[in-house]
Amino acid sequence: MASIRLDQVRDAGFLHEVEEESGQNISTCYQCGNCTAGCPGAGFYDRQVSQIMRAVQLGLKDEALRNRSLWLCLSCSTCTARCPNNIDVARVMETLRHMARREGLVQDRPIESFWKSFLDTVKLTGRSFEIGVMADYMMRTGRGWGNMDMAPAALLKGKLPFLPSCIRGRDEVARIFKRYAETKKEGQQ
Amino acid sequence: MKLAYYPGCSGHGTSKEYESSTRAVCRALGLEFAEIEDWSCCGSTPAHAMDTVLSGALAARNFKQIALTGAEGVVTPCPSCLANLKLARHRMQDAAFKARVDALLDSPTVENAEALPETYSVLQIILEQIGPEAIRARVTRPLEGVKIATYYGCLMSRPADVMQFDDPENPTAMDKIMEALGAEVVDFPLKTECCGAAMGVARQDVTGSLSGRILATARSFGADAVVTACPLCHMNLDLRQGQAERQMRLKFRLPVFYYTQLMGLAFGLPDETLKLDKLAVDPAPFLQLVARRRKARIDAAAEAARAAMEKAESEEGAAS
């Protein structure tokens, strides 16, 4: 691991920002490592949860935000359940992902694309819809062919309706997304 | 308390059998819920992965639809819907958060955040309002002599302070129900280990290895089947079982049921409500195993009765 000059790279306000946005008292983390020990995604991460927690404490903003783990986190909350200091660690991971996205640091395009495809379908029809999500995802990424091996079984079992169940209030749902996009734009200005 | 019903999107697609068996089991147990008119998606994982306020607003539109039914609370079979609706209500107790959510809606939610509807899982309602004894009394075809691994997944009881149900590390709600149905519940250590959740589309290697570990462990504990209460867990363990097998270089062939399907089976509910034919892994060997064990018990009981009769007859003969 590269050496870090704390006097040069520390962002003094970062810990406070993360604590504020996540509502968690991150200073109480004493690096017991329970979060990492129980994390089902740990084997796929490029930074472990406990390392990310330490980076936040030290104000190492780039270290905390520029990693793929924030996207690979499964939101299972095992870390939260096992933290001896009652930190909602999963909430911290989620907050960091939101912050990283705002800084333009999306580290895993396919995962981010899946989330967007899912939400696009909800925006369009008011509900999620499997074939719609997959089609949108494959158009966005050119990926997803590996999922096709499930399609015959799922189709045969009548588990993949071809048409979405569009709800009457879908415009109302679309307006939620529209207002959300507007608030995001305002936030950037 | 009057409760509304929120089915969740997957009930119309990949978890049709969960939706249908849940309704059938609730009806059989005398639980009545009013379905919410024109409900919309809760946003699931993608919404809160993007933004908690957006996630809150997608949930909150449903709070308004729930209010239209006149119900004070809502039940859902899906743990992801459960978590989103519960978390939204929990976070909206903070006035600043609630104001940001309300700003995204056509009209704001009720002023008093405490009046927002509470959400419960169907599992919680079945356990707390009906209970294992009443379930046992309803069983006509016990699941005798079979071993079940109960798999709960992540969301049913986590985070504990919000979910307020069962144990976050060692939940037992489904164990109690399966025992009431006559099955043996194995001491499964991966009850709440993540199956890979929604990662399957973008990262099959993640779901394959995490679900594979759950299935391999269930097999090694001698389970004849796995039960779950979550559409996403079910998809990863059942529909994606072939992917998990290839990833692990193992064969599982382990049937994965929704707990409501096994309840319906033990209650003798009609096949068309249980939709066992929707399962990707063939449940027939499991069903045959239950039938063989039942036949063996009945044969043994008949044999014992015959022996007792013969003994009584011969004693009578000796006495006269």
Q: How far is B49 from chain A (nearest CA, A)?
A: 7
Q: Best residue in B10, B36, B44, B50 to probe A by mutation, most A CBs within 10 Å?
A: B50
DSSP-derived secondary structure letter, A23:
T
In a domain, B310, yes or no: no
B203 at A interface, C-beta within 8 A: yes
CATH for B49: 1.20.1050.140
Q: Are residues B248 and B178 in the same domain?
A: yes
In a domain, B183, yes or no: yes
Q: Best residue in B41, B90, B275 to probe A by mutation, most A CBs within 10 Å?
A: B41
Nearest to residue B47, comparing CAs of B91, B15, B108, B4? B91
B48-82 pLDDT per residue, tens: 999 999 999 999 999 999 999 999 999 999 999 99
pLDDT of residue A84: 97
Q: Are residues B114 and B215 in the same domain?
A: no
CATH for B224: 3.40.50.11810
B165-223 pLDDT per residue, tens: 999 999 999 999 999 999 999 999 999 999 999 998 999 999 999 999 999 999 999 99
Q: Are residues B204 and B275 in the same domain?
A: yes
Q: Are residues B107 and B216 in the same domain?
A: no
In a domain, B302, yes or no: no
How far is the C-alpha of A133 from the C-alpha of B258, rounded, in Å?
A: 24
Count of structural domains within chain B: 2
Q: How far is A28 from chain B (nearest CA, A)?
A: 19
pLDDT of residue B38: 95
Q: Quick check: B38 and A169 CB within 8 A?
A: yes
In a domain, B130, yes or no: no
pLDDT of residue A151: 81
B248 at A interface, C-beta within 8 A: no
Tell whether the model's pLDDT for residue A130 goes beyond 90.
no
Measured between CA atoms, the residue of chain A closest to residue B160 is: A81
Give the DSSP per-residue string, chain B: --EEE---GGGGTTTHHHHHHHHHHHHHTT---EEPTT-----HHHHHHH-HHHHHHHHHHHHHHHHHTT-SEEEES-HHHHHHHHHHHHHTTSHHHHHHHHHHSSSPPPSSGGGSPEEEEHHHHIIIIIHHHHHHHH-SS--TT-EEEEE--SSTT-SHHHH-SS-SSS--HHHHHHHHTTPEEP--TTTTS---GGGGTT-HHHHHHHHHHHHHHHHHTT-SEEEES-HHHHIIIIITHHHHHHHHT------EEEHHHHHHHHHT--HHHH-GGG-SS--HHHHHHHHHHHHHHHHHHHHHHHHHHHHHHHHHHHH-
Residue B106 structural domain: 3-122
Q: Which of residues 208-247 of B touch A (CB under 8 A)?
A: 209-210, 239-240, 242-243
**ipTM of the complex as predicted:** 0.92
Sheet holding B147-151, edge to edge: B184-185, B147-151, B225-228, B256-258
Share of chain B above pLDDT 70, in %: 100
Tell whether the model's pLDDT for residue B13 goes beyond 90.
no
In a domain, B201, yes or no: yes
Q: In whole numbers, what is the pLDDT of chain A averaged over residues? A: 92
Measured between CA atoms, the residue of chain A closest to residue B281 is: A153
Among A80-89, A140-149, B294-303, B304-313, the range scoring the smallest mean pLDDT is A140-149
Greater confidence (B142 vs A6) lies with: B142
**Residue where a domain terminates, one of B94, B122, B150:** B122
Q: Quick check: B49 and A94 CB within 8 A?
A: yes
Tell me the pTM: 0.94
B279-302 pLDDT per residue, tens: 999 999 999 999 999 999 999 999
In a domain, B87, yes or no: yes
Cβ-in-10-Å burial (0-12, 13-18, 19+) of A11 comes to: middle
CA angle centred on B203, ends A37 and A139, rounded to 5°: 150
Tell whether the model's pLDDT for residue A189 goes beyond 60.
no
**Domains in chain A with CATH codes:** 8-102 (1.10.1060.10), 109-188 (no CATH)
pLDDT of residue A131: 86
pLDDT of residue A1: 63
In a domain, B308, yes or no: no
